[in-house]
Structure formats: structure tokens, C-alpha cells
Structure 1
Amino acid sequence: MQTYLQRAQKIMDRIQELAAISQTEQGLTRTFGSPAWREAALTIQGWMQEAGLHTWIDNIGNVRARLNSPAPGARTFVIASHMDTVVNAGRFDGPLGIIMGLDLVAQFTHTHTPLPFHIELIAFSDEEGCRFHTTFLGSKVVAGGFEPGLLLQKDAAGITLMQAIHTNGGNETGLPADAILPEDWLGYFEIHIEQGPVLYKRNIPVAVVKAIAGQQRIAITFRGMAGHAGTVPMDMRRDALGCAAEFTLAVEKIALANKDRIMATVGKLDVVNAASNVIPGEVSCTLDLRSADENELTALAASLQRSLAEICQQRHIDYEWTPVQETRPVLTDGFLNTLLEQSITTAGYEALQLVSGAGHDAVAIAAVAPVCMLFVRCFDGISHHPQENVELADITAAVEVAGNFMQQVITHINQHVLWKSPH
């Protein structure tokens, strides 16, 4: 029997191996449908097969493996995370949960433990949404929440999602059949790096995720009047960039005043026909709003839209406010959280509960199943960056906690203690 440290070292080795599979020579980038993404999928599938699992790749490109239970009427417990990355990514965001999940399931195949439920391990194909700007593609298909209208979404090269699915060997007509039916779900467990600094600052290796913040993403366009930088008087300008800058500072001010409850970010700015000697006539930006409280999120969006209208009116700028994406806050399952907390304290650690400001595949799955998440400490909270790092000791702690948790789940199902489904 391998020790927790030996298992953690194997997990780390596989994370490093997967990180070497990139569509760029410098850094790590592995977006949905790229050759590197396909190579990673086959690598993960090979590891699943080595563990003795029945594996397949579904129509959206999720890599799936199943360990079946002999129990009549058994339902399915899913362990999952995502294999795609952002551009110039870190090594642990997504793959840590997949490879730790594989380690967990492999323990049952090695010991031939009879399970009272099926386990399905999934490497979701697309969580980040970098190529088609469509987050949670993989998990939405598994949850039965995929929107057919997304098939016509185009990437920067004009390729539709439908075309990409065909290139990957899938078929859009098979997507509905790839879903796990709501009545077949037992629960969902995701292991993920925190992507924040709380665990690092408090020197705690793991934590329970009690909620995942809801998000609103808005595209904003400012339209003023372009003009010569040397001839239009300062008090007669309709400077779209100046307007966008003032709004950006207003966003920051409102968010700082409510920093314990909300997050707000202007993350992308485009100046149309930019030149050093031209007053910007049109500017677009993105606005990202997050909160674990749905009412707070709605109120924040309304407040910022009012601020935008006032600033634009004062500066004689026209604007467009276009909602792009909205996800509601998700509360993780209370009973599963209790089991996870007990698993942490059994391993000798403080059971801390955190809210995730980042989105996760658990958001899509929460529509059909009870979900829970384990956060693992990452260096200085850095994520979506090449410096993203997790210490071997923290992976070792997470291996022990996750094993404790799965044993707790098995014990409660054997005792016919069920947690409440969202439906």
C-alpha cells in the first residue's frame, strides 16, 4: 500500500507531465479543441485505462471513466475537474482535481472495495471558455444543461463550435445522450486550488468551499467623437477613453466600499482606431461582477449602470450596456460539507470554510446534483499564471482528506443515510 506522500508524488509527476503538453512553446496554453488539448485528453484517458477503468470520450470531448457498483439501483457519484487552460496558464488549475480524482478511484480498483454507488471520473473538456467564450461547456453537457444555440458560436478564426466538435470526433446530435439523468445523480466532488491567498496566509493546506460566487459579465461600448489631438479644445471634446477611464475608477470605488461582499473588475479595454494624435472616438470594455449573494449582485449591476449613465451624460457620450453572461451564486451541499469538514479534522487540520470568487464546473452540476468542493492551498494565491504552484505537502494533506471523505460517503450510503438532492 502506497503512503499518502508516495501517492502525492505520483500526482505531482503526472501534473508536470500534463503541463508539458501545450499549444505554445513558451508557457502553458491548452484551449478547447487544440492539438495539445487532444493530446492531453488521450494522455488522461491512458492513465484511466491503466487504473482498470472503463473509459470513453464523449461528444463534447469530456474524458470519462466509470467504476460500476454491483448494488441494484445504484446511483452515480461524480469526481471531476477540467483539463483546458487559459492562455499562459499555471499547471494546477483543473488538472490537480482530475489527477487527484484518478488517485482516489484507483484506490478502489486496487483494493477491490465493493461500492454502494457508481463512481464516474470526468476530465471536463472546457471550463475556462477561452476559445468560444462559453464557460462550462463540458459540465453543462454532463448536467443536461447545454444550450443548442452555442453550437453556432464562433472563435476568432470564424470556426463554429459545431465544426470544432466534428473536428474533435464528436457529433452534436449525441450531446443530449451524454448527460447523466437527474435521477441517476448521487453527488459531485471537485478538488481545486483555491486561486486566492487565504489558505496561504493562514498556513492551512485545505478548506471546504461553502459557496461559489455568482457572476455577471457585461460588454460596454462608449461612443464619443474622434478628433485631432492638437486642434480640439479640451473643454469641447467627447473623449470616449476619458469616459471609460472615469467609469473604471467609479467601478473600483464602489467595489472597494463593499469589498467584503462584492468583486468588480474592468478587465479588457479596446480603443477603436487608436493613435497617439487622435482623441478616442469609440472604446469598448468588459465588466466582471461577482458576489455570493444574488441580491447583492443584482443591486451592484443596477448601481453601476446608473453610474455609467450619469458619467456618459455629463461627458456627452453615448453608451451600450450588453449583458454577456450570468451565473447565479451556488451554495454547496450542507451534508456533504459536514462530511468534508469531519474528514479534514480527522486528518488533523483546521476545517475552514471559504467562498469561491472564481467559477467552477460545480456551478453547472449544482442544477442537478448536490455538490461539494475541497480547496487546496496554492502559493501566494497566484493562479492563471505560470507561477501558480502547490507544495507536495499540501497535495499529501489533500490526498488524506479526500480519502477520508470518500470513506465517509461510502459509510453513509451503506447505512442508507442520504443527503438532499436539489430536486
Structure 2
Amino acid sequence: MDAYLHRAEQLLQRIHTLAAISEDSNGVTRTVGTPAFLAGSALVKSWLEAAGLETRIDSIGNVRGRLVSTYPNAKTFVIASHIDTVINAGKFDGPLGVLLGLDLLEQLINQKVELPFHIELIAFSDEEGCRFHTTYLGSKVVGGFFEADLLQKRDAAGINLATVLATMGCDAQQLTHDAIPAADWLGYFEAHIEQGPVLYERNIPVALVTAIAGQQRIEMVFRGMAGHAGTVPMNMRQDALCCAAEAVLAIEQFGQEHRQTLVATVGKLDIRHAASNVIPGEVVCSLDVRSADEAHLTWASQALFENVQAIAQRRNSTLDWNLIQQTAPVTCDANLNSLLARAIADSGYKVIPLVSGAGHDAVPISKVAPATMMFVRCFKGISHNPLENVELPDLAAALRVAERFLTQLITHHS
């Protein structure tokens, strides 16, 4: 058997083993701070320790394993992704990048490669942001961008992040000490499933990520007037849900009209005090707008606000428009991308440049370090879904390319 296929089998087995740890049995759910998350973190930590890495769990819950260089003044190159998930997720989004990185470091250890820089493998604790509705908690800490007010963010049960960290055994007072200083960074590499259909349709195993789209997350609150479903005439209602429904369709239409440059999604809706015999008086919706063009993203957000505001006014309702989070588009580092493109080509694959519409931990890290990403083909581009799948030959191809890339980087800096 090809050596990479054999390693891919081991990688796939680890992915399946981690996926078996979940908050529910239907898909994979591991949100930060839950028993399933802690059990998953402990498993990953045990694998890093068994490989011979200097291993620890930091103050935000990141699992970190370090392979130390003996070179004086060596910088740090980070290989990372995340191990938290969305609700009812697949097995590969996040863990693929972490466990592929573990395989790479095991090979370096077995071959006794002399490193010109430190390599730190990190399993970030919270990239998806499902529990506290704010993304990149783990990578913000490592990059040195964690905002202290995030500790007061509350989950659906009203528990704040500071309390969750305390129950995890983490010390929030040490968060600033867990950052890698800006001067110590050499670069960042992340392997991730594509989460789109391009590689699947073209039957190509890997791609070069050139940029990551910027994003705005907005909370929309529609307020009308609650009333009795049987007594208020249809022409006298201030139905917040009907207002929200029209807004959702208008957002979809806007996204269709500008589909070449952006996507717009309403993914969450909450009818406050809902009952079958009550006219909805308050509805809360999410809005996610993304574009690789920062100017277009800013324009689109304003245009959507004006459109939705007009709908609310016409329906005699009010609108609260709250910006929850925004990230600027990111361009991957030209030098690292050049090395990665050469590794792809030298491995015998066509170099396909892609822009990521999804956010990744590379976004905050790119503020402090050169970053590059590799996409791996997944079944029909399906992600955030139990149907998420990567086939063994594509895992082997990803290992081949990533190892060649890392070898080139080591040679370059030796």
C-alpha cells in the first residue's frame, strides 16, 4: 500500500474516533465547555502527548502541542484548525486540519528532522461561535486579539464565558499570556475541507486558498404589536413575523441580484412569546453577509439595512439593527502561497486558486502572521451537515501536499 494511503487510513480513524464524542447521537455536536467538548479535547491532548509534543491546554481551552527547535532565536510556525463544531455537524470541518497536522509532526519526529523553527500544533477551542455567538475565541487568544469584554458574553442559558472557562479549569487571568508574541511568528498553515463544490465537480483533491471573504453578522429585531389571533382584523395588525418574513425574502432577492460578489443568509429566527393563537409581537432574526470585497461588503450591509427598514416602516413595525460581529476580507500570504502552490504542482495536481466564502481561524491570525490555507475536496461540497465526508485518496493527497509544503518551508529556512 502507498505510504500516504496508509497514513490517511490512520488519520481517518482518528477523525472517526473524535467524531464519536458528541453531545447528541444524530450528528456531531461539540460546543465549547460542554462535557463532550472537554472529552474531545482530552482525547486530542492524549494523541499529542503520545507523539512526543510538549502539550498543554491553555486558558481559553485550546489544545497545544509544540515541537521545539534547537536553533537560537527560532520563530514559531503554527499548524492549526478547530475541534469545536456547529450543532449537528459533520466529522471533518476543523478536526481534519488538526489531525493532519499531527500526522505531519509525527513524521518529523520519527525522521529526527532538525527544525530551523518551532512548530506548534493547535486545536482551537471555539472557531464556530455557536455557544456565545462570537467566532474565533481560541485563535484570538493565540494571536493576541482577545477582547476582555467577551468574558461577559452569555449563552442561551445565561451563563457567561468567564463562568464556562472556570468550570473548564481555565484561568481567564492568564489569557493574555497565551498569545504568541507578534515578533515570534513565522507563519500559519491550515488545511480544511473546501465547504463548496468546486473540487468535487472538477475531481481535484486539493486547492490553494488565495483569500477569505469578509463577514458581517447582524441581529435584526422586528417589533409590532402582539394581539389575539381571533379578534384583531387582518387590516389592523402589526404582525412582526409577517414583517420579518417579507424581510427574509427581500434579503434573499438582494443576494440573488448580487450573487457575483456576495452572499446573504438569514439562518436563525426566534418568535418571542410564540403561541398558535397570538399575533407575533416581536421576532429576532440573524443576518450573515459575506464578500471578498470590503467596500462591497460595507455597501451591501447599508443597502440591506435601508431595504429592511423600509419594509418595517411600511408594515407599521420597528426595526433594531445590531451589528454583532464583523471581519474584513483576508488575502493569504504571497510567499507561503507560492510554496504551497509549488507543493501542489510538484505532487502532480493542478493548482486551483479559490476564495473561501467561509471564515477560518486564519482570519484573526493573519493580523499578526503570514497565513496560508489548503482546501481538501469533500463530498458534493457539503459541510456543517452529518453528510460531510472526505474520501481516503483525497486525504492521502492532502498529506502528500502538506508534507511537501512543510519540507520546502524547512529547507527554505535552514
TM-score where L is the length of structure 2: 0.97
Q: Alpha-carbon deviations, 1:140-171, whole Å to 9, x = none?
A: 11001111111111222222211111211111
Q: Alpha-carbon deviations, 1:365-397, whole Å to 9, x = none?
A: 011000000000110111111111000010000
> What is the RMSD of the two structures over their aligned residues, measured on CA atoms?
1.4
Moved more, 155-164 or 36-45: 155-164
Q: Alpha-carbon deviations, 1:206-242, whole Å to 9, x = none?
A: 1011111111111111111223334433333222222
Letter in 2 for 1:240: A
Letter in 1 for 2:69: S
- The reply on whether 1:256 has 2:256 as its aligned counterpart is yes
Letter in 1 for 2:9: Q
* SS of 1:267 mapped into structure 2: coil
Alignment of 1:264-275 (within 5 A): 264-275=264-275
- The reply on whether 1:77 has 2:77 as its aligned counterpart is yes
Count of aligned pairs between the two proteins = 414
Q: Alpha-carbon deviations, 1:24-71, whole Å to 9, x = none?
A: 233321111111211111111111122111111111111111111111
* SS of 2:368 mapped into structure 1: coil
CA distance in 1, matches of 2:352, 2:231: 60
Q: Alpha-carbon deviations, 1:309-358, whole Å to 9, x = none?
A: 21122211111111111111111111111111111111111100111111
CA distance in 2, matches of 1:307, 1:154: 30
* SS of 1:372 mapped into structure 2: strand
Letter in 1 for 2:181: L
**Other-structure match for 1:148:** 148
CA distance in 2, matches of 1:111, 1:158: 50
CA distance in 2, matches of 1:353, 1:97: 19
**Other-structure match for 1:400:** 400
Alignment of 1:202-217 (within 5 A): 202-217=202-217
Alignment of 1:3-402 (within 5 A): 3-402=3-402
Moved more, 130-139 or 152-161: 152-161
The CA deviation at 1:2 is 7.6
CA distance in 1, matches of 2:5, 2:363: 31
CA distance in 1, matches of 2:26, 2:309: 43
Regions of 4+ moved over 6 Å: none
Query: Where in structure 1 are there 5+ consecutive unaligned residues?
Result: 415-423
CA distance in 1, matches of 2:318, 2:251: 18
Against the structure 1 CA distance between its residues 156 and 226, is the aligned structure 2 distance closer, same or farther, given a 3 Å change threshold? closer
CA distance in 1, matches of 2:374, 2:321: 36
The CA deviation at 1:287 is 0.7
Moved more, 376-385 or 129-138: 129-138
CA distance in 1, matches of 2:87, 2:396: 28
Tell whether the 8 Å contact from 2:27 to 2:385 is kept in structure 1 after alignment: no
Give % identity.
59
Letter in 2 for 1:3: A
Q: Alpha-carbon deviations, 1:179-199, whole Å to 9, x = none?
A: 100000000000100111111
CA distance in 2, matches of 1:273, 1:44: 42
CA distance in 2, matches of 1:333, 1:220: 35
CA distance in 1, matches of 2:281, 2:37: 40
Q: Alpha-carbon deviations, 1:251-277, whole Å to 9, x = none?
A: 111111111110101111122232333
CA distance in 1, matches of 2:113, 2:381: 37
